Structure 1
Amino acid sequence: MNVKDGVQIWLIRHGETEWSKSGQHTGTTDIALTDEGRKQAAALAPVLASQPFDLVLTSPMSRAIETCKLAGLGEHARVEPNLHEWNYGVYEGRKTPDIRKEIPDWSVWNSPIPQGENLADVGRRAQALIDTLLSGGARHIALFSHAHFSRVFGAQWATGSPSLGAHLTMDTAAMSVLGFERDVRAIVKWNLLP
């Protein structure tokens, strides 16, 4: 059997937090889900229950772990450190409009991130996880992670380059599906809400 046969990777973003609601960059800070975020996560359960996942991985951050549990997959999940969100360094907790008051053209996608990760760093982390998943034998995989990391992962999967991630959006508690179209890696579905 070809390693590509039947491989399907579901990317699931955690539910709403206070910082995701306000637009603050949330990488290394462990922020809890809001009540709305818990409702969003629970709404994932009926959709995910119909999927025969043989591997469930979650970011080590509590917002992703709680989303995984409320979505009904917590008892099958393992923590995967590579699923953590982008490390925003000195920009942690700040909003893009506020940063642009100091650095007018600033973007997480193409600006230096002092004391954090740049796009290439996150892309390498995503590619390392892709390589691990494709060599591991699992066919139906659920990954609970974060917006920017999931966008980079989807871009890296589809193109081998993380920069496409700038053009993908991902709402809280959204699901995306990656797979193959014949022998070509493809984004099958993107940013679906339950």
Structure 2
Amino acid sequence: MAQLLAKPYWYLRHGETDWNKQGLSQGRTDIALNETGLAQARSAGLLLAEHWRDGALPIARIVSSPLSRALVTAEIARDQIAAHGGPRLEITTDRDLQEVCFGEQEGEPMGSWYDPWIAGEMTPEGGESFAELRDRGTAALNRALAGEGVPLVVCHGAMFRALRSAMGLPANVRLANAAPLRVTPPENGRGWEIETFS
């Protein structure tokens, strides 16, 4: 398993979609943000703009999943940062930041299969294993971290579970929609640390 580069980054899960609201598994299915999700993305952008002004780990660029729920969240956050005193940040996409492929479970309710999938005990028919997701996500995050400055990665919930696993943290922790996270690498004997802003 590849190791994550020990560099800081910001992480933002996309805003809410109708499938999120209904408790359905999205995976690679490209579901748009709903009105709540659009509002959440604007709020997240405002929070990031505040921290930009505070000088707390300023964002150098944005790297997003190409799925529309993430990319639109990234665009709204960028626009909010620019409108409140920050620069208009460049957005690039990385196809390896797409959400996990859940195969036959996409569009179905999240259910008893999810925990065994994270544990590596099963993979939905036509889907991607948790280990495959972790390897793909680690490679994509390392590409984002290899550039200059601190990136904001705009992505997905299952992907962050995989990245938590790569950071040596408990994987199966739910991530709220559009809540910015500041992630700092191991230092002075401590492990990776995640701070949530809301």
Structure 2 counterpart of 1:144, one-letter code: V
Q: Could you say which residue in structure 2 is the equivalent of 1:122?
A: 133
Uncovered stretches (5+) of structure 1, i.e. residues with no partner: none
Q: Could you say which residue in structure 1 is the equivalent of 2:194?
A: 189
Q: TM-score, normalised by structure 2?
A: 0.79
Whether the 8 Å contact between 1:28 and 1:87 is mirrored in structure 2 is: yes
Sort the Cα spacing of 1:83 and 1:19 in 2 relative to 1 into closer, same or farther, 3 A.
same
Question: What secondary structure does 2:151 align onto?
Answer: strand
Whether the 8 Å contact between 2:99 and 2:155 is mirrored in structure 1 is: yes
Uncovered stretches (5+) of structure 2, i.e. residues with no partner: 53-57, 80-87
Paired positions, count: 178
Does residue 89 (structure 1) correspond to residue 95 (structure 2)? The answer is no
Identity %: 25
Inter-partner Cα distance in structure 2 for 1:140 and 1:9: 5
Output the aligned Cα RMSD.
2.4
Does residue 108 (structure 1) correspond to residue 117 (structure 2)? The answer is yes
Within-5 A mapping of 1:70-85: 70-72=76-78, 76-85=90-99
Q: Could you say which residue in structure 2 is the equivalent of 1:32?
A: 32
How far residue 21 of structure 1 moved from its aligned partner, in angstroms, is: 1.0
Q: Could you say which residue in structure 2 is the equivalent of 1:12?
A: 12
How far residue 185 of structure 1 moved from its aligned partner, in angstroms, is: 7.7
Q: Could you say which residue in structure 2 is the equivalent of 1:46?
A: 46
Whether the 8 Å contact between 1:179 and 1:185 is mirrored in structure 2 is: no
Inter-partner Cα distance in structure 2 for 1:17 and 1:25: 11
How far residue 193 of structure 1 moved from its aligned partner, in angstroms, is: 4.9
Sort the Cα spacing of 1:130 and 1:58 in 2 relative to 1 into closer, same or farther, 3 A.
closer
Inter-partner Cα distance in structure 2 for 1:183 and 1:57: 28
Sort the Cα spacing of 1:185 and 1:33 in 2 relative to 1 into closer, same or farther, 3 A.
farther
- Equivalent of 2:177, from 160, 165, 172? 172
Inter-partner Cα distance in structure 2 for 1:93 and 1:185: 40
Question: What secondary structure does 1:165 align onto?
Answer: coil
Whether the 8 Å contact between 1:177 and 1:187 is mirrored in structure 2 is: no
How far residue 75 of structure 1 moved from its aligned partner, in angstroms, is: 5.2
How far residue 11 of structure 1 moved from its aligned partner, in angstroms, is: 1.1
Inter-partner Cα distance in structure 1 for 2:75 and 2:33: 12
How far residue 138 of structure 1 moved from its aligned partner, in angstroms, is: 2.7
